[in-house]
Amino acid sequence: MIQISGAPFQPDENWKLDSIEESIIQHMLHDPTVYSYASADELLFEVNMRKNIIKSSKEMSESEAQFTTFEYATCNPRYWNLTAQGGFLLRDDVQPADAILDIYRNSSLYAFECATAAVILYYHATLNSIGRTLFNSLFQNLYLYSWNTDPDLGIVTFYSTNYIPGDVVYINNPDFHDNAPWFRGLNAVLLNDGRYFGHGFNIRTKEEIIDILNDHRNPGSQQSAYMTNLVTRPSFNSLASLVSQQRSYRAYKMYYPVIHHNDSSISYVNYLYYLSNGVY
């Protein structure tokens, strides 16, 4: 359900929505969750950013960026400093937008795991949604490692049985093989056609992803991989507010501590658990 200024949403015939945007709107209309916006512009910002997340996912699927663990992560040294923990730290002499774009333009130089991939998708989609000037102002201290993010992305996670295209969901493999812990699960983006993109898996159906994960379980396992009810997404309304106000400067921004846990392919909830328990 969609509400604009407290009233039920009525589609505007003058809106020229493409097939991806129409799919997003229809999913939101049929979701029992109330999606509330102060204005139609706020709604359109979220729809556009969700579309950009989907487009960024498809571009990454077609790129030469490889899946790997933190130990073997690689990046373009012209834009990033590779840390000992396998993270990508933005160089001081580089603009954030240029560094994010380079991951797509020179994708063969990059290798990372799937939680980092989800964050890269968010940044790429945000850049394409808000423009490089505001992006460069907001995200000056980028560090790509697992689910570590800038607070202005406003990442939220919750449990729901309803997903909207552009959401990141988590497919869990509780009995992953001891010799392949990176198959513990997959962070995957729901696309507009009902399929999912997960870094290292490309674009597949839910059933195909589960079959692949099941092939990497401990011998004799009877516990199948499964789609969880975990949904993760940026705070679209907060980002829309930053755009409308063109608020690019803050006197103080509190950054989250970085959790160097070395576990590939974890969910955002798992990362928050590490954060709350002081796992460094």
In tens, the pLDDT along 81-136 reads 999 999 999 999 999 999 999 999 999 999 999 999 999 999 999 999 999 999 99
Cα 264 to Cα 23, 47, 95, 112, 179: the distances in Å are: 32, 30, 28, 9, 13
Distance CA 159, CA 139 (A): 28
pTM of the model: 0.94
What is the residue whose two structure tokens read 């379980």? 217
Average pLDDT, the chain: 93
Mean pLDDT in order along the chain per 10 residues (280 residues): 84 81 92 89 95 98 98 98 98 98 98 98 97 94 96 94 96 95 97 97 97 94 95 94 70 82 96 82
For the chain, domain boundaries: 2-276
pLDDT of residue 255: 85
The long-range contacts involving 196-205, CB below 8 angstroms and separated by at least 24 positions, are 196/169, 197/57, 197/58, 197/60, 197/61, 198/114, 198/117, 198/171, 199/60, 199/65, 199/67, 199/112, 199/113, 199/114, 199/117, 199/118, 200/66, 200/67, 200/113, 200/114, 202/61, 203/57, 203/58, 203/61
In tens, the pLDDT along 178-190 reads 999 999 999 999 9
Distance CA 164, CA 54 (A): 11
